[in-house]
Structure 1
């Protein structure tokens, strides 16, 4: 059987699922960092509201740096070699930093592409789960709602885009 060149290999699909799992703690860390640094932290300490755009921009850049180091640390923890030369003692080695940067950039590309693809089909936020309740006031059957299906479609599209990012990396990018 000849495997088509345009279809990602199974390893790329597994790396896409793996990256989705890694995104959960990184997104949680990013949410905390953005919320408390950019929105609440420095504008309250300074007290000058004219610099909020500066704090939002610096918070965004610091969040990207923290996410990059988080992905690099995850890669170093699971697949890093102990004998690799480190630039600084607190940073992961160069190979983990490069892989962490690729994980961050493919996550950003996947999230932006998924949002752009699914934005026209987003469910109505005023949708109520009471549409599934029967005459007697309790759920009479298993009700699968459109927002539930939309979450699974979002995850599937994100994994597909991420698998193609890894496929592009394995086929197009030079390796040393």
Structure 2
């Protein structure tokens, strides 16, 4: 028998007080939300140990995975991060002050700026990535490989159904 979690109590309360509602859907969404909080906390703790916050890690990782020369324009960073332009500006400002990224004029558009990893930024993100992946593996360790693949497929199906299909870069 599967061990009970906190959401089981919530679902049972709703089933008793409002049997007309689909408490199963409430339970699934509740579990996703509660797990997301735990994942965010675990990621935040790791990023802090690297001297970063999650938004800074996101920018560095986005630049790193873009490939050499590890630079993108602000629009591409905005699209990848799904935040406001002001938020990207603040992130880039903080990373620039730490010497992890630099702003360079775009040769094709004088109004645009390219954000590029500095050697120190590349070293930091390269050093942090292996630990980040180990942290993610630890978070998912309760599931075997087949269960992880099944969950991955189901979550992809939900994301596609809700329109999360636009390419980030390119």
TM-score, normalization by structure 1: 0.29
Point out the structure with the larger helix share. 1
Point out the structure with the larger strand share. 2
